[in-house]
Amino acid sequence: MSLLSTHRPGNAATGDDALVVVPARHPWRWVATGLVLIVLAQFVHGLVTNPGWDWPAFAGYFLEKSIVEALLLTIGLTAAGAVLGFLGGIPLAAMRLSRNPVLAAVSWTYIWVFRSVPLLVQLLFWANLGYLYESLQFGIPFGPGISFPTTGLISSFGAALIGLALHEAAYAGEIIRAGLLSVDHGQHEAAAALGIPRTRQFWRIVLPQAMRAILPNAANLLVNLLKSTSIVYVLAIGELFYQVQVVYGRTGRVVPLLMVATVWYVILTAALSVLQYYTERHFARGAVRALPPTPFQRLRRALR
């Protein structure tokens, strides 16, 4: 309004072209920024000066052998849980989308049950399976087979892995189903009209497009799983959180060791986030007209 009103014809003598545009000032933004910076500085100051954090102990334990071994176990549990979980999720999603009412109902019930039971409770169930079934038998249903003692067959690590995988599969199934539903019906029709075989339709046409909707949720699930592995400490498995507890039980240095675990979880989550970024980028091909540059490409351009 003000710009328009100053621009009157016949005003050229005062030099309208030379008018300077002054951006609006935002004093409260400066005040808010200042306050946030003060709080942040206080927090950092506390981290550095409070002896309770015991940074020398943190540094000493961060790469200690038992901690690194526990870390590897955590990564292994996460990876195995994720792979098994998503492998289980694919048939669950397919069954729930099936026109066969029995398959759909079984999948629905599985997801209902395994989303209802807390992971901790489930883990304890698997660890105590021996009380329920003394031996497990493999063979023809209701027929002959070979039997094994349950406790020999399912170690506590096995129990943890089964629990995590079954738990993950329920969530993964729903995430995959959501992705499949997000693919336009016309894509299924086009693939069918071209006579493309059914499995090829799924892997080549539908799934790559579903991945765009699946990935952000799958990444959430994966990060959640990474931290959920800390629950298996109840089965006395030497993953990161268990090992940290063992060490501070011995040394009494609770806070620095909790920080060791925390920082490792943060680093792993950061690594997963980077992985997520590039995977999402890969599956964005064709979905946007031109892919935005990666942070590295942006940096290189800025430095040039």
Q: Is 228 in the site for another protein (CB under 8 A)?
A: no
Q: Kindly indicate which of the ranges 142-150, 166-174, 192-200, 294-302 contains the residues binding another protein, using the contact rule CB under 8 A.
A: 192-200
B/e letters for 1-24, b = 16+ CB within 10 Å, e = fewer, are: eeeeeeeeeeeeeeeeeeeeeeee
CB–CB of 227/265 below 8 Å? yes
CB of 198 to another protein, least distance (A): 6
If the CB atoms of residues 138 and 203 are measured against another protein, the closer one turns out to be 203
**Identified binder of another protein from the candidate list 25, 29, 65, 198, rule CB under 8 A:** 198
Mask of contacts with another protein, 66-85, x by CB under 8 A? --------------------
CA contacts within 13 A on the Cβ side of 142: 0
If the CB atoms of residues 187 and 245 are measured against another protein, the closer one turns out to be 187
| Token representation of residue 264 | 């490792």
Phi then psi for 135, rounded to 5 degrees? -135, 155
**Identified binder of another protein from the candidate list 200, 281, 298, 300, rule CB under 8 A:** 200
Strands 135-139 and 145-149, bridge-based pairing: antiparallel
| Token representation of residue 301 | 């351009």
CB of 193 to another protein, least distance (A): 4
| Token representation of residue 45 | 């100051």
Q: Is 29 in the site for another protein (CB under 8 A)?
A: no
For residue 141, what is the DSSP state?
Answer: T
Q: Is 18 in the site for another protein (CB under 8 A)?
A: no
Q: Kindly indicate which of the ranges 50-58, 61-69, 185-193, 264-272 contains the residues binding another protein, using the contact rule CB under 8 A.
A: 185-193
How far is C-alpha 81 from the geometric centre of its chain's CA atoms?
12
Query: Where along the sequence are the contacts to another protein (CB under 8 A)?
Result: 184, 186-187, 189-198, 200, 204-205, 208-209, 283, 285-289
